[in-house]
Amino acid sequence: SQELEQSPQSLIVQEGKNLTINCTSSKTLYGLYWYKQKYGEGLIFLMMLQKGGEEKSHEKITAKLDEKKQQSSLHITASQPSHAGIYLCGADMGGTASKLTFGTGTRLQVTL
Amino acid sequence: DVKVTQSSRYLVKRTGEKVFLECVQDMDHENMFWYRQDPGLGLRLIYFSYDVKMKEKGDIPEGYSVSREKKERFSLILESASTNQTSMYLCASRRQGSYEQYFGPGTRLTVT
């Protein structure tokens, strides 16, 4: 079983709609990272959360880490075609930040 | 800007061949990583290196070896390629003590 569970696995939304992607662990996370991957390419860093209850935003993307530091959500407001891609959460589960464990990813399609 | 480059975007090799995947970063980062990405399994860490000539096994090192003779270059070696090593391979680098990993564009390897 995956140490980090992402849901949903895939998502199709209409342009302009809001959406949320979740990342859940059974263990306390020392750091939670969100990355975006364009199809067939490398990962682009979006945000990193460390403290329980922390929330960060960049343009129309907001990421939150719950108080127990076991669940994070990524929320996109008013989605655009440029938001399409694969979103991956990665977590530092050992406290050393030396290795990241990744979820399986959420594939997002934005239709016109 | 940090740049992580990988020697090939696409590679096709035959079963039993020795395969070298090269990764170069230009930001003097101490840490470098090799992942493979497969549908439904997400990114899995193969090997990582804290510094020159230092290496540690990740979660799935079997069938792979690595070499880090120079700080900027981290090579992944498949001693005898097998079809189950067909995958997308991603390299990343990170400055020691920081959180963000910078990823290369990936090499899609097919072993026939």
Inter-chain CB proximity B100 and A48 less than 8 Å: yes
How does residue B2 score in pLDDT terms, banded at 50, 70 and 90? low
Residue B41 has pLDDT above 80, yes or no: yes
Other CB atoms closer than 10 Å to residue B110's CB: what's the count? 13
Question: Token pair 């364009």 is at which residue?
Answer: A38
Report pLDDT digits (tens) over A19-32: 999 999 988 888 89
Residue spans per domain, chain B:
4-111
Q: CA–CA separation, B66 vs B20, rounded Å?
A: 9
- The per-residue pLDDT for A98 is 67
Contact by Cβ (8 Å): A100, A4: no
A41 touches chain B (CB under 8 A): yes
pLDDT tens figures, A16-72:
999 999 999 988 888 899 999 987 788 999 999 989 999 999 899 999 999 888 999
Between chain A and chain B, the number of residue pairs with CB atoms below 8 A apart is: 54
CB contact under 8 A, A102 and B90: no
Between chains, do B103 and A44 touch, taking CB under 8 Å as contact? Answer: yes
Q: Are A95 and A102 in contact (CB under 8 A)?
A: no
CA–CA gap between residue A2 and residue A21 (Å, rounded) = 16
List, for residues B44-85, the tens digit of each pLDDT value. Answer: 999 999 999 899 999 899 999 999 999 999 999 999 999 999
Give the class (CATH, top level) of A4-111. mainly beta
For the domain spanning B4-111, the CATH number is: 2.60.40.10
Q: How many angstroms separate the CA atoms of B41 and B38, rounded?
A: 5
Closest residue of B to A100, CA-based?
B45
